[in-house]
Every structure is written in structure tokens, then in C-alpha cells.
Structure 1
């Protein structure tokens, strides 16, 4: 692995939630409560930034949560090459298995996060939006009966990269998480060979890596690794031709090199979005096993 192909003199100052740009947000609305007791907080505006649409989130909390028994939380971050998708959709390989229902059944609250797409705003807007959502959840954790010491970011593809970047923030930060599940996310945006104007990375950065070295640097999880990062689970299809398996392999190696737990699970023969896998539920359950282990109450 060579993470020094492009030398960029960038200070190690981590990206804030919105820097100096003030944000407004909603307080938790009244939830709809389903027959099984799950509370659904719908269309929460977690950030209102002047000139952009409000950023919304849906939150589902399992039944029987109390102040004395708060639930751990999974912040789910969708994929779509940074230019499509939303919190309301899942990949067609994942939709049929009842993904969120399995998380709730395991005792995890689930926050479905939206973020601005790459034709709406270039990076780091997407990370700002994810961080704003996590910060909102932490701000209202007590009221919502969430355990702020057991937050995880879980994303797929583009969302996997954003989950990784969220996990690599400051451990004392308001938008911190205690575990990351990264499904087949890219880990390095500083590839000078990606110059096609229609390339998702070029859309994300607003130019090529050589034209936009600073955002490319900050958009690359493999370059943000530090020894205080939370545990990572990286799952990736070995036959993924959209985002090569080596992207997760390199990130796992970088994390391990600084002493951070990084479980790398190759999904043999699987393509992007785990296409070709016959038993998606096993991958979901294995990811939940990782979260059970890393977020266990002491």
C-alpha cells in the first residue's frame, strides 16, 4: 500500500460539523408508535443550512427503552456513488431481507441519514451532513433513550466511506461514534488517474485529485487513520469491479498498523452491493455480532 503518491501540505486540523456556518435544527417530534412498540420519529430536520434544502433523518427506537435502559444506535448511511440514493432506499440485494427490522430486533435504534449529493454540493458537505446528524442524535440522546456511549456508523459503498470518515473524527468530538461497519466503501480519493468528468469521485470533489488535493486528502479514510480510532468491520466482495476489494484491504492494514481493531471480511466471489451472494442475512448478522462485541456494556 502506498498512501504517499500525492504529497499534500495540509495541516492536520479535522473537519468540523459546519465550521463557522451556523445551523438550525428541529427538536425531536412526537413519534408514531407501531403495534410492536417501535417508536418512529419521521422527517427530523437535523440541519438547516442557508441556501440548501433541510437535511432530514428518520429514527426508529425499539420498544421498552427507558432512561435507565437506553438503546445503542446504528446510524445507517446510504450509498449511490454520492450522486443518487436516499435514506428511504436500500440496495436491491439488501431490501428483501428486512435489514432494519433485524437491527431493531437485536436491540439497536436505527437512524436513517440523508446527505447532500454531489451535484448539490461538493465534499466535505456530505461529511458535514453525516456529522450533523450524529451530533443531533447525541444532543437529544437522553430524551430519546439512546446510549451515547454506544453509537455506530454503518454504511454501504459511498455511505461506507462516510461511515469510515465519521469514525475517524476526534474521539472527544460531538459527532463521534464508538464503532464503524464499512461495507465495500472506497478508502482513497487521491487517485490521479481518475480524470473522467463523469467519474463519481470527480463529481464529489468538484475536480480531479490533482486539481482538488485538499478535499481529496480529507475524503480519503486511509489517510485519516490514527491510533484513537474506534473498532472497524470492513466487508467487501472479492469480485467487486466498482470499488476494488483492495480499498478495504488497504484501510484495514492502515488501521492495524496503528493498533486499531480492523476486522476484514472478504465476501468471496461477490460483486458490488454483494451481488451474487445467496445469503445476505448472514452478512447482516455477522455485522451485528461485531457491534454486539464492540459496543457491549461493561
Structure 2
């Protein structure tokens, strides 16, 4: 009798999880390691056999402080790595927050350490930050985490010689979407969060969106195709675009452009759906006379900034843009 009751209980639990995968996804889960630099390389090499992982030597002109906790939430320490010039500068250096991609559920901050180090050597304080992924916390946790990281930069401006009037955010893929959303929601109380260095501003003065979508509900968007199971975005929002359209719309930077939106640089691969809404957004930026640039690499794979030959020109486009807007 006991065995039969246990069997039915387990069957009921299995059916519940199968019927409600999104609810199960909100429970503590192992880290998703499906997106790594190596796995991306293997996939990208099928069409681009000559590419290689970009691993330039760390510049001798910079210092680093890894594993700095920028916010603690219920015992969970969120960390970032800092890279900054050895040379002192009275005014302080502009700062750049780097945000990794991975479909809001995979990836890690180490993937953009090479880019952060090289940019630091050009006169910037750069940080690569982790944020809670969808296996740990649903939208908008990643957004509020990263706004807290910006506040940490201002709270620690004296330590790292940061010019708090010149903070940029740089993101790739899901990180690009997050970067654009952070920059277009400066001062938005709904996405600010209530933890960590709340007396400081989370506003950023420039955005670099590297192949990140600008709109989730848009004719160009490939997000939300659940025909083969819940998509990465569906997991992140905790529901489909028809179930939670308000969240899907809120997360699109295209829906937040105003006259106060900071300058933005778009750097894109040849895969159009990865920058859905970009052209509509540039029209809005033009209407408000907001400076923007757009660069694209023909025949490039989505994770192009991780690899040679695209790493160096991505760095150059970034440095030139920041020099222009932070002059």
C-alpha cells in the first residue's frame, strides 16, 4: 500500500513538472554551462574555420582586482572583476561595465575579460560583472543587479579613480539587450532595485550594444519561439509573450527611448534577428538628435567579439566611440 501511494505521488509530481516547466525553472537549479567560449568556437568554426579565440596578453599598464562583491542579496554575493590603469589621473577615468551574454541563463563574466583588459589599457576603468541568470532568478533580477553594479562603481569611485560623470555600459547578445535596457531606463524606479548603494545613481552616459535585441515583440525578433520547448526569453520572463506581454515589452529598449537616452553604439554580426528593432530605434534616436553609430561585420557569426579576426576591430570601434562621447 505504501509503495503504491509513493508511486502515485511521484507520478503526480512528474506530471506537474512536465505541465509547468516554467514554475519548476524558478526553483534552485545547477548552473547552465551550455554557452562557453569554446562551445561557441566549435559551432562558429563550421562556417568560419580560420577563426580563433581572442586571448591577447594582459597589458602591463593596468592593475586588476578580481572577485569584488558589489551586492549581497539574501546571502548571495554578486561579484565583479576590476581592471584599471596604473597611472594616476587627477580628473579620474571613464568607467565601462561589461555584461556577458548566454540567453539570460548561461555564460559568465570571464568571457569578456580580454576586451575589458584591453580597453582599460586605453584609459578606462572596466569591470566584468556577474548577474543572476534565469536558473536562479527571473526578470527583472538581472536588470536590478546590473544597476546595482553601476551604483557600486560610483560608490567606489575614489578607490579606482573613476569619473562618475562618464560611465558606459557594454554588452554582448543577452548582455547587449541588458546594456541597452539599462541605458534607456536611467531613473526608472520600476527597474532600479532596492538593494546596495542606493544613495548613488545607476545612470549611464553611453551604451555599447553588441548584437543584443532591442525589442522582444517585434516583426524582426526571433525571441519567444516555443515550438520546440520554452525559449530562453520565455524562461527568463516566466511566461510566454502572450501570457506576460507587459514584461516582454518592458524589457525592450526600443520602448524606452526619450530625449534623455544616452549616445549608443551598435556593433552587429550578419545575423539580423540578433539586433531586432535596431533600425526602428535609430529612427527614434534621430528624431531626438541623439548621437549613435552602427557598425556590422559581413558574414560574421553571432559570437564574433570573442574571436579573431573581429575582436580587435570591435575593441577599436568601442574605444573610438567612447573617446568621441566622453571627450
**TM-score bin (small chain):** 0.7 to 0.9
Q: 1:75, 1:244 → 2: CA distance?
A: 21
The yes-or-no answer on 1:287 pairing with 2:287 is: no
Q: Tell me what 1:109 maps to.
A: 125
Deviation, structure 1 residue 262 = 2.0
Q: 2:80, 2:172 → 1: CA distance?
A: 17
Q: Tell me what 1:255 maps to.
A: 285
CA deviation vs aligned residue, 1:46-77 (integer Å, no higher than 9, x gap): 11112x621111111111224x2311111111
The yes-or-no answer on 1:46 pairing with 2:70 is: yes
2:78 to 36, 41, 55: 55
Q: 1:227, 1:138 → 2: CA distance?
A: 24
1:235/1:248 contact within 8 Å kept: no
Alignment of 1:99-248 (within 5 A): 99-170=115-186, 174-190=201-217, 194-196=225-227, 197-238=229-270, 240=271, 243-248=273-278
1:171/1:229 contact within 8 Å kept: no
Q: 1:64, 1:55 → 2: CA distance?
A: 28
Q: 1:56, 1:65 → 2: CA distance?
A: 25
Q: 1:249, 1:208 → 2: CA distance?
A: 25
With structure 2 as the length reference, what TM-score do the two structures score? 0.71
Q: Tell me what 2:96 maps to.
A: 74
2:81/2:129 contact within 8 Å kept: yes
Q: 2:164, 2:312 → 1: CA distance?
A: 27
Q: 2:144, 2:59 → 1: CA distance?
A: 35
Q: 1:35, 1:182 → 2: CA distance?
A: 25
Q: Which runs of 5+ in 2 are unaligned?
A: 1-57, 189-199
Q: 1:259, 1:89 → 2: CA distance?
A: 34
With structure 1 as the length reference, what TM-score do the two structures score? 0.77
Moved more, 38-47 or 221-230: 38-47
Larger fraction in helix: 2
2:168/2:208 contact within 8 Å kept: yes
Give aligned pairs, total. 253
The yes-or-no answer on 1:269 pairing with 2:299 is: yes
1:231/1:261 contact within 8 Å kept: yes
Counterpart secondary structure, 1:188: coil
Counterpart secondary structure, 2:73: coil
**Where in structure 1 do 4 or more consecutive aligned residues deviate above 6 Å?**
none
CA deviation vs aligned residue, 1:114-148 (integer Å, no higher than 9, x gap): 10011111111000011000011112212321110
